[in-house]
């Protein structure tokens, strides 16, 4: 910790940012390694992750990339493409289905860091990047197959292109605005009409930039929109050819049905999203709370007026517009908050946490509390060791122990030691402790992996059944995940649809065991499995 303290205050405060860049890159490489540890302990998380992975597998198996579904589908296929490409290259596995989210998440972190450098010192930007990646909501989405992390990467790319184009040369300016327009179009290809919400939230930033009034901006932005829309256009044309207008109407009708925009939703959704935001961005709010007063002053005290306006548009107006629009929508899910989390994290860099020493009473107390919690977690894991694989137990246990040591050292150095940790080292200890814990626990399958038994069942069935596998009466969650892991599977609407000549295996729900045994007497079903 003393070494970290010295590096933070001497090396990292230099005008050149190469040390911070190298450190961040090294950290990301380490994170990638952690994310792929012990793949055998992983499984898809129901329900959405299973749906995205299964639909991507359908695209990969069928070879139909533009209109792969037999009936009109309610989403564009951009996120399915990313997962299907990964499955095509690396084979059918849960980690391959999650690879696009992991790659997109780290690209978003790098874009966040370099965007932050425009407004803050490297060390502030680094702390904000560490805080973002240590947030449970961000980390969980990073390792979940789906469109959310890809959308975040596209949003951060839009922000980076818009903010960095201001000082770019004419040639670079054109390419960045072209990239901005393309990212806007691709966000609709990935997330359908949901992409409208972050785009609306970006309007204050767009209006704050003087160059948007130029003709060049609109020429290159529209050109980027057209280029980025090419996959979406082909997708919609193919859907129209296969399903007619109903294929296009399904996109709009699904969005309008989910939206259910009413005034009453605003008052019921705001408490829901606020509480989830506090919990899922932990421990970032611990650093923000004691500095809210100084934060209010800094809103209007930045040296450069133009940069201050841009920063306020990103850190205040974007989250405000986003959460107000989101609160009007009837459907509520915590992962809807993801696109605003990176821009909220910019406020951590804005607090000037690094360069002003203080008493840090709240953080010191927090370090002591977290030490106790980590030790209790280590005890809980130790007593549960018989229920875990050796790799899972040792990975999770030693991560929790290391995290408790970091928090204890932070607490000890602030309370008892003469040579106190710098603010940077203290905050770094918190963030790394949390990140080590959640990464190790998730990589080992202890948390966020609730369907390992379905994966094991599918492995058994694949090994014993070389022909078709029929699924009957299973819950939709189980059915979806099994369809991803099984080599060849077919859903039976009823047992009557199974002729006596059909071979293969049958997987059915346990409650229908008696009925299944009665109906299938005389059939050529080789193996029966009950869930």
Is residue 308 scored above 60 in pLDDT?
yes
Domain boundary among 349, 366, 400: 349
Specify the pLDDT at position 159: 95
> In the chain, what is the greatest distance between 2 CA atoms, to the nearest angstrom?
84
> Are residues 367 and 235 part of one domain?
no
Q: 327, 266 in Cβ contact below 8 A? A: yes
> Are residues 73 and 167 part of one domain?
yes
> Are residues 100 and 15 part of one domain?
no
> Are residues 362 and 384 part of one domain?
yes
Q: Are strands 527-530 and 489-492 parallel, antiparallel or unpaired?
A: unpaired
The domain tally of the chain equals 3
* Nearest Cα to Cα of residue 148 among 294, 333, 298: 333
Mean pLDDT of the chain: 78
Range with lowest mean pLDDT among 32-46, 271-285, 350-364, 512-526: 350-364
Specify the pLDDT at position 272: 75
Is residue 279 scored above 90 in pLDDT?
no
Q: How far is residue 425's CA from residue 418's CA, in Å, rounded to a whole number?
A: 15
> Are residues 193 and 146 part of one domain?
yes
Is residue 180 scored above 90 in pLDDT?
yes
Domain boundary among 394, 418, 449: 449
Specify the pLDDT at position 224: 94
Full domain range(s) for residue 79: 37-349
Specify the pLDDT at position 399: 76
| Number of Cβ within a 10 Å radius of residue 412 | 15
Q: Could you tell me which residue, 34 or 375, shows the higher pLDDT?
A: 375
Q: How far is residue 228's CA from residue 217's CA, in Å, rounded to a whole number?
A: 16
> Are residues 405 and 337 part of one domain?
no
Is residue 383 scored above 70 in pLDDT?
yes
> Are residues 241 and 194 part of one domain?
yes
Q: 47, 476 in Cβ contact below 8 A? A: yes
> Are residues 470 and 423 part of one domain?
no
Domain boundary among 430, 449, 468: 449
Range with lowest mean pLDDT among 62-66, 284-288, 413-417: 284-288
Q: How far is residue 421's CA from residue 93's CA, in Å, rounded to a whole number?
A: 44
Specify the pLDDT at position 16: 46
Confidence bin at 8 (pLDDT 50/70/90): very low
> Are residues 53 and 5 part of one domain?
no
> Are residues 323 and 259 part of one domain?
yes
Q: Could you tell me which residue, 108 or 43, shows the higher pLDDT?
A: 108
Q: How far is residue 513's CA from residue 517's CA, in Å, rounded to a whole number?
A: 6
Q: 109, 28 in Cβ contact below 8 A? A: yes
CATH of the domain at 494: 3.40.1010
Q: What is the pLDDT of residues 439-455, one digit of tens each?
A: 777 766 777 767 778 88
Q: 456, 40 in Cβ contact below 8 A? A: no
> Are residues 60 and 100 part of one domain?
yes
Confidence bin at 313 (pLDDT 50/70/90): confident
> Are residues 377 and 329 part of one domain?
no
Is residue 3 scored above 90 in pLDDT?
no
Residue 47: asked if its preceding bond is cis (omega within 30°), the reply is: yes
Sign (positive/negative) of CA torsion 82, 87, 89, 95?
Answer: positive
Query: At residue 220, what are phi and psi to the nearest 5 degrees?
Result: -75, -30
Arithmetic mean of pLDDT, 315-333: 81
Q: What is the pLDDT of residues 111-169, one digit of tens each?
A: 998 898 888 888 778 888 888 887 878 888 888 888 999 999 999 999 999 999 888 88
Specify the pLDDT at position 93: 86
Q: What is the pLDDT of residues 239-277, one digit of tens each?
A: 888 888 777 777 776 666 656 555 555 556 667 777 777
Q: 131, 348 in Cβ contact below 8 A? A: yes
Confidence bin at 463 (pLDDT 50/70/90): confident
- The residue behind tokens 């509390």 is 369
Q: How far is residue 377's CA from residue 440's CA, in Å, rounded to a whole number?
A: 13
pTM of the predicted model, to two decimals? 0.85
């Amino acid at each position: 910790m003393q070494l970290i303290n010295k590096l933070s205050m001497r090396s990292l405060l230099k005008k050149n940012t190469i040390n911070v860049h190298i450190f961040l890159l090294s950290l990301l490489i380490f994170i990638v390694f952690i994310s792929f540890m012990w793949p055998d302990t992983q499984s898809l998380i129901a329900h959405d992750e299973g749906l995205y992975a299964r639909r991507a597998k359908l695209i990969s198996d069928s070879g139909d990339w533009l209109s792969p579904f037999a009936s009109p589908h309610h989403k564009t296929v951009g996120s399915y493409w990313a997962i299907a490409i990964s499955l095509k290259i690396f084979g059918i596995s849960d980690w391959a289905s999650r690879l696009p989210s992991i790659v997109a998440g780290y690209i978003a972190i790098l874009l966040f860091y370099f965007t932050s450098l425009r407004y803050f010192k490297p060390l502030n930007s680094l702390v904000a990047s560490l805080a973002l990646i240590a947030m449970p909501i961000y980390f969980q989405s990073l390792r979940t197959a789906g469109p959310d992390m890809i959308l975040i990467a596209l949003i951060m790319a839009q922000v980076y292109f818009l903010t960095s184009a201001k000082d770019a040369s004419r040639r670079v300016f054109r390419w960045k605005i072209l990239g901005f327009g393309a990212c806007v179009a691709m966000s609709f290809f990935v997330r359908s009409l949901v992409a409208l919400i972050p785009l609306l939230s970006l309007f204050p930033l767009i209006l704050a930039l003087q160059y948007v009034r130029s003709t060049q901006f609109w020429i290159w932005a529209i050109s980027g929109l057209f280029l980025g829309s090419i996959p979406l256009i082909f997708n919609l044309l193919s859907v129209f050819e296969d399903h007619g207008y109903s294929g296009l109407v399904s996109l709009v009708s699904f969005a309008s049905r989910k939206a259910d925009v009413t005034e009453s939703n605003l008052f019921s959704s705001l408490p829901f999203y606020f509480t989830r935001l506090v919990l899922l961005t932990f421990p970032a709010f611990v650093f923000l709370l004691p500095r809210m007063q100084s934060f209010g002053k800094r809103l209007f005290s930045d040296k450069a007026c133009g940069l201050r306006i841009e920063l306020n548009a990103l850190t205040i107006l974007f989250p405000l517009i986003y959460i107000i629009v989101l609160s009007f929508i009837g459907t509520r899910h915590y992962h809807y908050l993801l696109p605003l989390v990176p821009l909220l994290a910019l406020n951590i860099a804005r607090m000037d946490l690094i360069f002003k020493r203080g008493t840090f009473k709240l953080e010191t107390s927090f370090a002591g509390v977290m030490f106790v919690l980590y030790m209790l977690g280590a005890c809980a894991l130790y007593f549960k060791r018989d229920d875990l694989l050796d790799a899972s137990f040792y990975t999770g246990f030693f991560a929790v122990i290391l995290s408790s040591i970091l928090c204890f050292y932070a607490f000890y150095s602030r309370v008892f030691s003469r040579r106190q940790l710098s603010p940077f080292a203290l905050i770094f200890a918190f963030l790394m402790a949390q990140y080590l814990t959640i990464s190790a626990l998730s990589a080992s399958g202890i948390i966020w992996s609730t369907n390992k038994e379905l994966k094991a069942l599918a492995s058994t069935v694949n090994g014993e059944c070389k022909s078709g596998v029929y699924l009957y009466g299973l819950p939709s969650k189980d059915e979806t995940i099994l369809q991803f892991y099984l080599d060849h599977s077919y859903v039976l609407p009823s047992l009557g649809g199974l002729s006596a000549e059909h071979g293969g295996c049958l997987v059915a729900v346990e409650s229908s065991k008696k009925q299944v045994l009665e109906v299938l007497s005389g059939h050529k079903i080789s193996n029966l499995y009950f869930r």
